[in-house]
Amino acid sequence: MSKEQEVPQPNAENPEELSNKFKVTEPKKWAAGIPAVLKAFEDILEETGATRGMGALLKMNQKGGFDCSSCAWPDPDDDRSPIAEYCENGAKALAEEATTKKLTAEFFAQNSIADLAKLDDMHIGKKGRIAQPVYLPKGGTHYQPVTWDWAFKKIAEHLNTLDSPNEAAFYTSGRTSNEASFLYQLFVREYGTNNMPDCSNMCHESTSVGLAESIGIGKGTVTLEDIHDTDLLIIMGQNPGTNHPRMLTALRKAKEKDAKIIAINPLKEAGLMAFKDPQTVRGFVGTSVQLADLYLQVKINGDMALLKAIELLLYQAEMKTPDEVFDHKFIQESTVNYEQFVEHIQQYKVEDLAKACGVPVAQIREAADMIAHKKRIIVCWAMGITQQKNGVDTVKEIVNLVLLKGSIGKPGSGLCPVRGHSNVQGNRTMMIWDKPKPAQLAAIKEVYGFDPPKEHGFDVVESIQAMHDGRLQVFFAMGGNFLSATPDTTFTAEAMRKTKLTVNISTKLNRGHLITGEESIILPTFARSDKDVINGVPQIVSCENSMGVVQQSKGVLDPVSDDLMSESFIVCNLAKAVLGSKSVVPWDRYMESYDNIRDDIEKVIPGFEEYNKQIRKPGGFYLPNAPRAGKFETPDWGGKAAFNIAGLPKHEPKADEYYLTTIRSHDQFNTTIYGMEDRYRGIHNERRVIFMNPADIAKAGFKAGDKVDISSHYDGIERVARLFIIVAYDIPERNTAVYYPEGNVLIPLSSAADKSNTPTSKLVFVKIRKHEAN
């Protein structure tokens, strides 16, 4: 059965609409430098004008300013540059939200949703900020303005007439502040469900599950200082030059203190090879710092085999020179399952593992030699590891390596999952979770007096399935772009259309607002950089970065419209409309000052003692982290960290199938497309490209520049992503890559990671054929 897309795919499907300016240039061998600075300023000036945009840029990531909403990389604890604690992509994110363009009632009257859906993602986003609440009636073709009161009543009517609260799902994307997240989950639980899918489900869920099971906390264990002070960094499945640009500054500092770096990635990413610091004189004169000392170009999902090969070589070295490679004191005192692990690892042969991961034995040996005699080791990872069928086991294999070396809970050592959205880690701390722990629910009951539901709710994949088979009637989203971020776009679109009501709290328009339930509402809100003032008092909110530091953020820009409402206010008003006098939560008090919200967070969530005082300390405060202090709170393992025993993934692609991974370009934030330039990879003016190995291109009888269709074949369905241009690239044979979200149509809903249920966005098998016009 062939299943063609009835959903307009992100970016054109029609050959004539592929850019005739498409150009491929030599991929870059270093990142940042002057082009990054120029690009940052260009975008800011274009969208906002000099005073508004440049003024705001100077406040980004400053103590007392606002937190960059783009990624979760931490700010330095001290020693911040007075003018420049941002990067090119932080500036682009600001330009995108600080734009002065806005979508008025007139705009919605002139543009039907069908017309808007024909635009590509970039042009939908570039229309401007949503300026007032809008509503799409059943059978309607255009969104129309409504009042806030009307919108809250409408949503309440729907929620209060469902057969069960479990027929509604409440999604969260990772930008929402701690304060708004806490209120949101409180409302959802008082309403009566744990259906709280979130972007984490698609992102670092494999990390959260893997780390919680092996070290007792689902978070990383290092601080920024640890990165500066380490001897060896291993960076796996992450492209920091694009997705966490200021990490490069930290890497440079580490290199200046003689740290070594091993990069593990199928693609040669510029930001892992070398760095020119745009904020130092040296950067301006163009000297670059080499980053990776060893670059292991692993096959897609070859990481498990590679880690095992390294561990096996380390074990053999340890056998030759006992006590020199492994930290037996630590292993003995603080871990379990070491004997089983050692027995397990010996069943492999280095040569077989090398073949499985595609890295030559000599290079794996080099890696093992670099690791063998170092004690202060940090492993960083991101989506290349987590968005895999065996993502949880690979995360645990990373833990195995660190445990063998005793490189955890000591300065310069540890585990460093690098998070995506700026407050995705904080959202979880605030209990945005479909699987809340009994102790967390008990704390809510104790403080508020109502009984929160205990039954686990739907995650992202389960929500889509439930919408599709009619178990969910209302889909409510706190930010994000659920349609385009999730896998299996066609199926997800069908699922969304089957609901009775979709609601999106949002700053800007995106494709997810155009594929709706029978009725749809968009509620416009402040962005992180917008001023949020209550009764004349400017409010602060707080976010937790990737290293567990909670910091305040205060918007500096005048909002583009008087008709926006903060996410916290939206939740309070909605809760009042839905729950009325039944509610036992003091929603009105929370709308007097955000300090009142923080006072109650402090009562419910551990680690937030004196929240209002601590959040006002310059630089914020660290949340407790037991492994950082050498303790493991693992009830299953008697307070020790656990070695995990897991085999290699088994893949059985057909002879004509390729491994396909989906990646971010340098010119996007997730589903928000800033522009068409993937500068470091040398791709210009087009996103519908597929990166292929030159030998594969020749073998298949193609040539670079050919137009192809890509298909995947799972569950008896052919899913097709049409019209991509072949780019010859330095990527392992049989491995290919396309951009996200263009590739999402190819990922079946059924392909999700074991235990974390994260869609396998970093590996599906595909066929590639000459493009046929529709």
508 binds, among Mo ion, ligand MGD, ligand SF4, none (CB under 5 to 8 A by kind): ligand MGD
Strand-by-strand arrangement of the 232-236 sheet: 294-296, 260-264, 232-236, 377-381, 414-417
Residues 357-396: x where in contact with ligand MGD by CB under 6 A, - otherwise, as a string: -------------------------xxx--x---------
Write down the least CB distance from residue 233 to ligand MGD, Å.
Answer: 14
Q: Looking at 288, 473, 668, 712, which residue binds ligand MGD (CB under 6 A)?
A: 668
Cα separation of 625 and 217, whole Å?
8
Which amino acid is located at 302 in the chain?
G
φ, ψ for residue 389, nearest 5 deg: -50, -40
Write down the least CB distance from residue 48 to ligand SF4, Å.
Answer: 17
Strand-by-strand arrangement of the 274-276 sheet: 31-32, 274-276, 289-290
Binding positions for ligand MGD, 463-492, rule CB under 6 A = 478-482, 485
Cα separation of 293 and 305, whole Å?
21
Residues 21-60: x where in contact with ligand MGD by CB under 6 A, - otherwise, as a string: ----------------------------------------
Residues 184-213: x where in contact with ligand MGD by CB under 6 A, - otherwise, as a string: ---------------x--xx----------
266 binds, among Mo ion, ligand MGD, ligand SF4, none (CB under 5 to 8 A by kind): ligand MGD
Cα separation of 174 and 485, whole Å?
12
Picking from 643, 644, 684, 689, the residue whose alpha carbon sits closest to that of residue 666 is 684
Write down the least CB distance from residue 547 to ligand SF4, Å.
Answer: 12
Residue number with CB closer to ligand SF4 (36 or 572): 36
Alpha helix locations (H) across 381-423? 383-386, 391-405
246 binds, among ligand MGD, Mo ion, ligand SF4, none (CB under 5 to 8 A by kind): ligand SF4
Q: Looking at 662, 711, 751, 760, which residue binds ligand MGD (CB under 6 A)?
A: 662
Write down the least CB distance from residue 716 to ligand MGD, Å.
Answer: 22
- For 35-69, give one letter per residue: b (16+ CB within 10 A) or e: ebbebbbebbeebbeeebbeebbebbbbeebbbbb
Structure tokens at 718: 């052919």
Residue number with CB closer to ligand MGD (174 or 453): 174
Residue number with CB closer to Mo ion (203 or 660): 203
Residue number with CB closer to ligand MGD (264 or 495): 264
Residues that bind ligand SF4 (CB under 6 A): 61, 68, 70-71, 73, 86-87, 89-90, 244-246
87 binds, among ligand SF4, ligand MGD, Mo ion, none (CB under 5 to 8 A by kind): ligand SF4
Neighbours of 22 (CB within 10 A): 17
Q: Looking at 744, 751, 756, 757, which residue binds ligand MGD (CB under 6 A)?
A: 744
Picking from 102, 73, 111, 65, the residue whose alpha carbon sits closest to that of residue 90 is 73
Structure tokens at 281: 């004189």
Write down the least CB distance from residue 501 to ligand MGD, Å.
Answer: 17
Cα separation of 410 and 423, whole Å?
26
Write down the least CB distance from residue 112 to ligand SF4, Å.
Answer: 35
Structure tokens at 310: 């390294």
Cα separation of 590 and 624, whole Å?
26
Locate the DSSP E strands across 470-562. 474-478, 501-506, 519-524, 533-534, 537-538, 541-544, 549-553
Residues that bind ligand MGD (CB under 6 A): 70-71, 89, 173-175, 199, 202-203, 236-239, 242-244, 264-267, 269, 298, 300-301, 303, 382-384, 387, 420-421, 478-482, 485, 505-508, 510, 525, 527-528, 567, 661-664, 668-672, 740, 743-744, 747, 761-762
